[in-house]
Structure formats: C-alpha cells, structure tokens
Structure 1
C-alpha cells in the first residue's frame, strides 16, 4: 500500500467504524516504498474532504502534533516481510485489529 486508504470496520449492532489507513513511506533511489508501518486514524466518510495521495516534496517530517495527542489517532500496525509483528494502540478491539490486519495484508493497489 502506497496511498492512504479509507475503509470501514463492521461493528456489532450493524454500524461501522470509518478509518483511514496511512502507510508510512520511505524514499529510496526508485521513489517511495512502504516501510511496513500503517497508522490508523478515525475518518468520516462523506464529509467532502479528500485524501492527499501524492508524496510530500519535502524530506522533512510534517509532524506538528504527536500521534498520541491526536484525538483521531487509533494506533499503528507494524509488518515485517508482509507478516504482522504487532499493533500499538489502545482504542481498537482485538476483533477490529484482526479485521484491519487482514485488510492490509490482502490490499491490492487499484490500477490507475
């Protein structure tokens, strides 16, 4: 996964939790590649906002607000060689974590 992805996690009772999965990228001589770290944020589908899918031109970090202080931050997944190593976060249930882990592992970039 190179671009952020919006998805929803089914909840008990029929509702959904909307989230954005943001892959953390690193730049190499071929361009950008995934580091295997995916941050999860609250999202609101249909709110007329748009995801920025182009990599930043600057190599400097744009982290004005630490993740732990961001009320929309739900945690992060860390994968190594395509295998889930761990999840860091306290908001998502084990079922939600499992759902998102499978989503990330099976995600295919759309053809553009």
Structure 2
C-alpha cells in the first residue's frame, strides 16, 4: 500500500472512529517509493466527506510535516514485520480497533 486510505473503526461502544491510515514510505533510487511496513494512524476530521489527495508531489523539496508527538490528530503507528505479525505503538486505540486497522491494512 503506497497511498493513504480512509476507514471507519468500530469502537467498543458501537460508535465509529473515522481514521486516515498513512503508509510510511522510503525512497529507493531504483524503484521510487517503497512501503516500509509501518503505517501512521490519524483522526479523520471529516469522515467520508473528504477525499485524500494521493498524487505524487512534483517537487523534490522536503515537506514540513508536523512531528507526531505534537500532532493532536495522531493516534499511533502500526508496524508489520513482513509475516503478518504487527505491533501497535500508541495508547489511544483499543485492542479491537488495532485489530480492525491491521486486518484492513493486510487485506488492502
């Protein structure tokens, strides 16, 4: 998965939490961008009303991404080991929400 995706996680009380899952990519000289197996999870403020911009940047300038530790929308990171095993780094998603996100990423 190289593009961000939007999904709804079902919380323990039955309500939905809309999130954006952003793959962490690294630049490979020969193949362009490659997935690292890590995915950042953010709150989706607009739910299904927004559309993600997934076109590659036309500039080589570095972006000014806000560090995760001060981003109020950051919910954590899921990291896969390449064999369908995963670990969640964060404390805001329940175990069930983590499993839903990991399952969706694996299927995508």
Shorter-chain-normalised TM-score: which range? Answer: 0.7 to 0.9
Q: After superposition, where does 1:28-67 map in structure 2 within 5 Å?
A: 28=28, 29-43=30-44, 44-47=46-49, 49-56=50-57, 57-58=59-60, 60-63=62-65, 65-67=66-68
Aligned length: 105
Offset at 1:86? 1.4
Counterpart in 1 of 2:21? 21
Q: Calculate the TM-score normalised by the size of structure 2.
A: 0.84
Counterpart in 1 of 2:78? 77
Counterpart in 2 of 1:4? 4
d(CA) in 2 for partners of 1:15 and 1:85? 25
RMSD (Å) for aligned C-alpha atoms: 1.8
Is 1:77–1:84's contact at 8 Å kept on the other side of the alignment?
Answer: no
Is 2:86–2:102's contact at 8 Å kept on the other side of the alignment?
Answer: no
> Aligned with 1:86: secondary structure?
strand
Counterpart in 2 of 1:110? none
Q: Calculate the TM-score normalised by the size of structure 1.
A: 0.82
Unpaired stretches in structure 2, ≥5 consecutive residues = none
d(CA) in 2 for partners of 1:78 and 1:46? 25
Unpaired stretches in structure 1, ≥5 consecutive residues = 108-112
